[in-house]
Amino acid sequence: MNDFSEEERESLYKAIYSRRDVRSNFTSEPIDEQVLMRITSEPIDEQVLMRILKAGHHAPSVGFSQPWNFILIKNIETRKKIKESFEKEKSRSSKLVEEPRRSKYLSYKLEGILESAINLCVTYDPTKTGSFVIGRSSIPATGVFSVCCAVQNMWLAARTEGIGVGWVSILSNETLRETLHIPDHVVPVAYLCLGHVSKFETKPDLETSGWLPRLKLDEIIYHEKWLQGKELKPTVQ
């Protein structure tokens, strides 16, 4: 049984292949001379935002635990605190890579915290539906996997709405907890920046800039056993 028409199927693949991580190209509202605020991006229509969040809420989850919460952040002061954490973490992590890649890494724009219309922190609450969750006892990480499924649903839904999404993981979870009043038992999983964009790039920025290539599909498929019949060639020296 397949109740997707060819056109419907194509639409889904279009969303998958044209989805991008967006850090630049967020569109701003024309500058209001009186308020002189450049920082405010073109707002996302409330109904569009709700459709995106609903797509997230319809993700698969281990034992149907729906362990996610969505914290919507518009406040600029809050976002500035998060951006500070980004700057700190970016500088700290740059020490983990040698030149010339360090300079390249530092030159990348890796967030759109202030320029986007809204930020969204997606959290994992392991206690939400009680301590016993079908399917989570053997592999506890399935809880966080479920939250990632929600993120991907939102990322794809946003793409079909013409809304760009960027995932910022160069952040301190401690700062997120403090700033957003997230309790200790809840884990911040994803910090996302959403907004209208002037364009979606056709390739990942990290591919275009030569950081890494897309691996060949054939290289990542094994048959029957790990690595069977293949020798992995490192793509990065």
Residues found near ligand FMN in the complex (CB under 6 A): 20-21, 23, 110-111, 166-170, 204, 206
Distance CA 236, CA 211 (A): 9
The nearest distance, CB 66 to ligand FMN, in angstroms, is 20
CA distances from 108 to 104, 164, 185, 203 (A): 7, 18, 33, 15
21 forms beta bridges with 165
Residue type for 68, please?
A: W
Distance CA 176, CA 49 (A): 22
Nearest residue (CB) to ligand FMN, 110 versus 114: 110
The nearest distance, CB 176 to ligand FMN, in angstroms, is 13
Residue nearest to ligand FMN (CB): 204
Assigned token pair, 101 = 């890649």
The nearest distance, CB 22 to ligand FMN, in angstroms, is 8
Nearest residue (CB) to ligand FMN, 14 versus 230: 14
Nearest residue (CB) to ligand FMN, 111 versus 125: 111
Nearest residue (CB) to ligand FMN, 158 versus 168: 168
Distance CA 69, CA 47 (A): 18
The nearest distance, CB 46 to ligand FMN, in angstroms, is 26
